[in-house]
Amino acid sequence: MARRAMSVLRHWSSRVFSVEVDGAPDYFSIQEAHLGEEVPKVFREVPKSDKCYSVLVCGSDRIRTAKFYAQLKETLLRELPVRCDVFPMSSFQPNVKDSLINGYFLRHNSVSSFRSESFLRNLLLEEPVLVCSYVRGEDGRVWTQHLWSDADSETTETSTQHFVVPSEAPECHPSTLNIINSDVFYSFEGAFGVLQKCGDIIPEAKSVMELLPRRADARREPDFPVVVIEGLDATGKTTLTESLKNTLGATLLRSPPQRLSPFRARFDQEPPLIRRAFYALGNYMTAEQVGQECMKTPVIVDRFWHSTAAYAIATAVSGPVSNLPAEGSEVYRWPSDLLQPSLVVLLTLDPEERKRRLRDRGQGKTLEEKELDHNRLFRLKVEEAYRRISGPPCVVVDASPSADQVLQQVQLVIRGKCHL
């Protein structure tokens, strides 16, 4: 059994489990004795003819685990009976960093349970997973969880059982426990280490590493101001950055840099761990360019670390804006080895106007940009994450007036903050 699984099992009885049905999490825990607690909501809604299972991914190899989990839902839907509901699931120790493991909760008709259990048993023997079955008591008011053992494929279940009971929602959304250096990277070495391990399975990773600086060089005081322009697509960043380049006599750079463009489509297909590491390293490549140019002229940067972090945080944390880490959380801190800009301007725009501009552009978009178009909640989380990032914080500018008016407003901000 993998080391990670062994570690998880040592604390199994102290873990909390979460199942998301229609985007709303239902939390439950386990205990050795039943004291008359209610049945957790996710089990109350299970038809009498259905059986329930869970599969949690807990491999020690981060890269293999990330890729396996990314493919797991498709595998389950393909291999399990047609009438099988698959819901996102996670397990964690409250307030314990890096304790989160993800997986799926399965619910389907008991008529086909033999086929399902056969498949899950094989999965347990071949992959870094923990499998549980859930058994309903005769009166339907008590459920028990049975953790399967990979050491005894005949019985599949351990000799012990735990009763399933409701659990209160944690103070912090469970996904925040694993954000640091999994969804958001705070050092060059952390992101580089992920791509380095991908070299054998993603040929493009080696090509990207050849383009990277040998180390991060965080210049504390640029000779000339460095101004980053942030904002969702179609807020006018490109028009504004070009105008600022001309009016300030500045160098214009973009993150990720053009040199990474041939690889973006490939890494956009990868699980979050690998995709985030790729974009984080793009910031360090841009920082190297900024460090060279800001010795000669002011530098304008079209997107930087704020975008990388804000999209990652908003994607990792499901549910409403209130689920985001609290303002001041360490997940919003600036990487210590990444060049800090002199000023960050965040362009905001009315959602309907932004949609109109996107339609007029008709350009291809990433999956996350498409998500912004139809998911108001996701957009709100991205914008709020932008605002909470420190070092330096964003100065918000309304991008709805004409391009000339927005330019004048931003120039005033730059003069006031950077004395240009």
Is 88 or 149 the better-scoring residue by pLDDT?
A: 88
pLDDT in tens, 208-224: 999 998 777 766 677 89
Q: Is residue 207 part of a domain?
A: no
Distances (CA, A) of 270 to 78, 103, 266: 20, 17, 7
Are both 230 and 127 inside the same structural domain?
Answer: no
Of residues 220, 235, 295, 286, the one with CA closest to residue 256: 286
The answer to whether position 211 is within a domain reads no
Among candidate residues 123, 148, 176, the one where a domain is terminated:
176
Structure tokens at 61: 């190899």
When pLDDT is cut at 50, 70 and 90, the band that residue 174 belongs to is very high
The per-residue DSSP string of 294-333 comes to: TTTS-EEEES-HHHHHHHHHHHHS-SSGGGSPPTT-GGGS
Type of residue at 420:
L
pLDDT given at position 154: 43
Let me know whether 227 and 158 are in one domain: no
What confidence score (pLDDT) does residue 157 get? 47
Q: What is the rounded average pLDDT for all residues in the chain?
A: 89
pLDDT digits (tens, 9 = 90+) for 182-211: 999 999 999 999 999 998 899 999 999 999
Burial of 221 (0-12, 13-18, 19+ CB in 10 A): exposed
Rounded CA separation 177/300 (Å): 34
Kindly state whether residues 298 and 155 are assigned to the same domain: no
118 and 232 in a common domain: no
> Does 365 fall in a domain?
yes
- Tell me the pLDDT tens digit for each residue of 298-340: 999 999 999 999 999 999 998 889 999 999 999 999 999 999 9
Widest CA span in the chain: 78
pLDDT at residue 156, rounded to an integer: 46
CA–CA separation, 229 and 345 (whole Å): 5
Specify if 270 maps to a domain. no
Write out pLDDT tens, residues 76-134. Answer: 999 887 778 999 999 999 999 999 999 999 998 777 677 788 899 999 988 899 999 99
Taking the CA atoms of 229, 235, 237 and 242 in sequence, report the sign of the dihedral they define: negative
Q: Give yes or no: residues 240 and 145 share one domain.
A: no
Has residue 118 been placed in a domain?
yes
Q: In 127-236, where does DSSP find H-type helix?
A: 188-197, 203-211
- 148/287 same-domain check: no
What is the per-residue pLDDT for 366?
54
Is residue 214 in a domain? Answer: no
91 and 13 within one domain: yes
* Residue 19 counted as domain residue: yes
285 half-sphere exposure, CB direction, 13 A CA radius: 23
**Residues 239 and 124 grouped into a single domain:** no
Query: In this predicted structure, which of 13-22, 148-157, 225-234, 314-323 has the lowest mean pLDDT?
Result: 148-157
Given a contact cutoff of 8 angstroms between Cβ atoms, the answer to whether 175 and 37 are in contact is no
In this prediction, residue 155 has a pLDDT band, given cuts at 50, 70 and 90, of: very low
Question: Which of 120, 150, 176 is the endpoint of a domain?
Answer: 176
Q: What pLDDT is attached to residue 363?
A: 52
Please determine, for residue 159, whether its predicted confidence score (pLDDT) is greater than 60.
Answer: no
Query: Phi and psi (nearest 5°) for 307?
Result: -65, -45
Q: Where are the beta strands (DSSP E) in 58-173?
A: 84-92, 101-109, 129-136, 143-147, 162-166
Our count of domains for the chain comes to 2
Give me the pLDDT at residue 223, please. 83
Give pLDDT tens digits for 333-392: 999 999 999 999 999 888 777 777 677 665 555 555 555 555 788 889 999 999 999 888
CA 389, CA 306: separation in Å to the nearest integer? 7
Assess whether 125 and 247 both reside in one domain: no
Rg (Cα) of the chain, in Å, rounded? 24
- Specify whether 236 is located in the same domain as 317: yes
Q: Which domain holds residue 84?
A: 3-176
Which neighbouring-strand residues pair with 346? 230, 396
Q: Answer yes or no: do 167 and 250 share one domain.
A: no
For residue 374, which phi and psi values (nearest 5 degrees)? -115, -5
Note the pLDDT tens digit of each residue in 383-399.
Answer: 999 999 988 889 999 99
Does residue 206 belong to any structural domain of this protein?
no
163 & 252 share domain: no
Last residue of a domain, one of 111, 143, 176: 176
